[in-house]
Chain A
């Protein structure tokens, strides 16, 4: 192996390892890992299974909210949420039919929502404004109409 080749490969290997160490630190120490909730549900009985029998927004602590939401072609339920600024919100999500995506534009909220699985993701909305919530996984002919809004006041 040539000397310059060895340098190139050592440096690139080093950069990759460093990168993974940073990613690992963020994931396990800072708890910045991607949404990975593990909990199942019968996708054909979502309406009868708590908490999804009563979708909605619940205050669960000081400045802390929980949003229980179902996704189905081509709507979110509940829609048009209102949240006070600075509150931490945990979304509990499941699908009643096909695979959907849950994305809030201009935030890092981005998760897949599968039939049969419960997904969970949290975010603190610091800036007031109207946030666009949309489905970012193709779910059928009206997929582009599947959206709602969150107003942070």
Chain B
């Protein structure tokens, strides 16, 4: 016993020397980030296999099913990789701006980690055994093994534990710093987790409904209702990643390039708007569904479109920062300032390309959420191209950029010029691969090529044959992407264990107007109430309708 205690003490002392930031918080964040990048590698391999099969370059071995690979790729990337990265990053930032997180909050984050690891292990096992080829959306009445849904319940519970930690620490900080606005990073963290938590409630309701149904205890399920619950979560979670990227754009990027935050007040208003306006967005996934009247669909087009507004504010604020910095560095003329930005610095280059990618990405989003236009591209590869542009370019490329300062900060190391170069190369390879893949997906989607479909010639159809060249480009893009993933994972490993020792700061930019930031912006009770009102406006009518006018339900069906 004593020996064991000694050992932990020695271990702790050792890691004190090794880690740069607050040791225990850094351990937590690094664990999350390590899991995140291990998942990225695995998910990336599945992504390549999928791309090669779909394009006909290299068919999958007979013991692997395309839909199994697709389910695994979706779940690993969308649920595990992003979630673990976001939690690692947010907790590291909170530890920095709060001067350490509360011990009980840290414990909650570890409990969350444990729940998620067990949950994901169960989910991945069911998929690997071929008992859950139901894809990321798991639409009923496709019925997976009950363990699949149980695993997901554990993941959501883990997320709730982590969210509660964020709320508790925010509340504690406010109580101990009366009259001061919370640090902007913490304000972002609050917004991100409020959105995430509320979005996961409908998902939890769906999962709890599906468990007894998939076990055969309850005979049927309401298909439309559960589909709607899924998208309330499924779309919002995508916006959570975008939200996280935005937090780094506002808080870290100006500091990295030697500028200041455009306006603290504006940033907080953007956070609040993103929280209030986001949840109805999920409904546009159902624009060509039956059972929902045209009027409700139009209202939803209106409501989902409103989320473009905070994004347009962000666009203005960020480019205003860039212009100011460029001019300060001697940039002349209308657009000369862009030459004076630090393009060779991966910590700037990656998030900058991510922001630029969001211009066509956001425009594509407006198409998807529009009543008429969605009908042209619904469930085609266009959609796949769209979310690779928004999630994999805008959000994930920002995450990659964050790594180059976050990991050295956490491990007490420095970003060497050589590693910076690796990062620049990685960013270019990723951007190139994603442009090829996402570009061809967008285009071939317009021509009607469906998504979520294994390689097929549709009985030698001429139209289907015309899609082949685009699918080939898509497959080639996937090769570049896996290459970029491998470079990134190696860079993360190097920064965790091999880079030279030194001090790296957590970049937090200053704002000139922080003193005038009104305190009422911190009234989260009010923002949550407004968010619930917005959700009520969006969902009350259709959800009541789905329940009251429900057809006889569907029994569990397995079609794979």
Contacts and interface: CB of A to CB of B under 8 A. Distances in A.
Interface of A: 2, 5, 8-9, 12-13, 16, 19-20, 23-24, 26-28, 32-44, 73-74, 97-99, 101, 103, 105-106, 108, 110-120, 130, 132, 134-145, 147, 149
A124 to B, nearest CB: 15
A49 B301 CA distance: 34
A99 B555 CA distance: 13
Contact of B379 (A44, A108, A137): A137
Interface stretch (B39-47, B149-157, B364-372): B364-372
A116 B552 contact: yes
B372 A119 contact: no
Given A34-B371, A101-B378, A116-B553, 10 more contacts: A12-B312, A33-B298, A98-B554, A98-B557, A110-B375, A114-B227, A116-B223, A117-B291, A138-B453, A143-B67
Interface in B35-67: 65-67
Interface residues of B, number: 67
B463 A40 contact: no
A136 B133 contact: no
A135 B557 CA distance: 18
B288 interface: yes
B224, B294, B456 — most chain A CB neighbours (10 Å)? B294
A144 B454 contact: yes
Contacts of B493: none
A40 B549 contact: yes
A139 B559 contact: yes
12 contacts: A5-B316, A98-B554, A101-B378, A103-B379, A103-B448, A110-B376, A112-B286, A116-B223, A119-B290, A132-B463, A136-B379, A147-B456
B292 interface: yes
A19 B371 CA distance: 11
B3 to A, nearest CB: 55
A16 B310 CA distance: 12
Contacts of B551: 40-43, 116-117
B172 interface: no
B289 interface: yes
Contacts of B293: 36, 38
B453 A112 contact: no
B309 interface: yes
B372 A138 contact: no
Contacts of A147: 456, 458-459, 461
B147 interface: no
B140 to A, nearest CB: 8
A117 B293 CA distance: 13
Given A20-B302, A43-B554, A144 B453 contact: yes
Contacts of B223: 99, 114-117
Interface in B287-329: 287-294, 297-298, 301-302, 305, 308-309, 312-313, 316, 320
Contacts of A115: 141, 223, 554
A106 B224 CA distance: 28
A141 B290 contact: no
Contacts of B549: 38, 40
Contacts of A106: 447-448, 463
A145 to B, nearest CB: 7
Interface in B445-489: 447-448, 450-456, 458-459, 461-464
B470 to A, nearest CB: 14
Contacts of A98: 139, 141-142, 554, 557, 559
Given A13-B309, A116-B551, A140-B142, A27 B559 contact: no
B462 A130 contact: yes
A46 to B, nearest CB: 11
Contact of A136 (B316, B450, B455, B557): B450
B371 A8 contact: no
A16 B289 CA distance: 24
Contact of A20 (B65, B305, B461): B305
Interface in B409-467: 447-448, 450-456, 458-459, 461-464
A137 B376 CA distance: 15
A149 B376 CA distance: 19
B290 A35 contact: yes
